[in-house]
């Protein structure tokens, strides 16, 4: 083996090892914490309105001021879930972030994906 071919084989081996190492580290880097001084965006969840007209309120109860109305099949963005006044046996309410922060009864919002985190 000539010195030139040995050097070429060594270069290929080193390059391959570097790629394998980078691939092994990629999941750990992707799941790492955000850089100090930065904030990760909070996870948002999605849901679909199942009521004909869902009154969205300023508080998680029927006495809260109506902020807006969502219609059947509207896709809403959920920030988190909390407990509040029971609606048809369901005391969970979702804090929605669509345009105005408002609470909607979880009784009339079907999750699209995982259930939202607790507030």
Would residue 78 count as lying in a domain? yes
Question: What pLDDT, on a 0 to 100 scale, did the predictor assign at position 59?
Answer: 97
Number of domains in the chain: 2
Would residue 3 count as lying in a domain? yes
Residue 101 near residue 82, CB atoms below 8 Å: no
Residues paired with residue 79 on neighbouring β-strands, in sequence order: none
Q: Are residues 57 and 101 in the same domain?
A: yes
Q: Are residues 62 and 99 in the same domain?
A: yes
Q: Are residues 80 and 25 in the same domain?
A: no
Q: Kindly report the pTM of this predicted structure.
A: 0.66
Query: What are the pLDDT digits (tens) for 24-75?
Result: 433 333 334 455 666 666 789 999 999 999 999 999 999 999 999 999 999 9
- For 101, residues 6+ apart whose C-beta sits below 8 A from its C-beta are 67, 79, 95
């Amino acid at each position: 083996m000539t010195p030139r071919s040995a050097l070429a084989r060594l270069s290929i081996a080193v390059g391959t090892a570097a790629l394998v190492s980078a691939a092994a580290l990629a999941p750990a880097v992707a799941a790492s914490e955000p850089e100090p001084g930065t904030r990760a965006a909070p996870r948002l969840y999605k849901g679909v309105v199942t009521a004909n007209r869902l009154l969205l309120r300023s508080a998680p109860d029927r006495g809260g001021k109506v902020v807006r109305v969502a219609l059947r099949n509207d896709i809403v963005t959920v920030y988190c879930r909390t407990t509040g006044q029971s609606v048809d046996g369901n005391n969970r309410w979702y804090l929605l972030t669509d345009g105005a922060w408002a609470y909607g009864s979880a009784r009339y919002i079907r999750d699209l994906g995982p259930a939202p985190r607790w507030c």
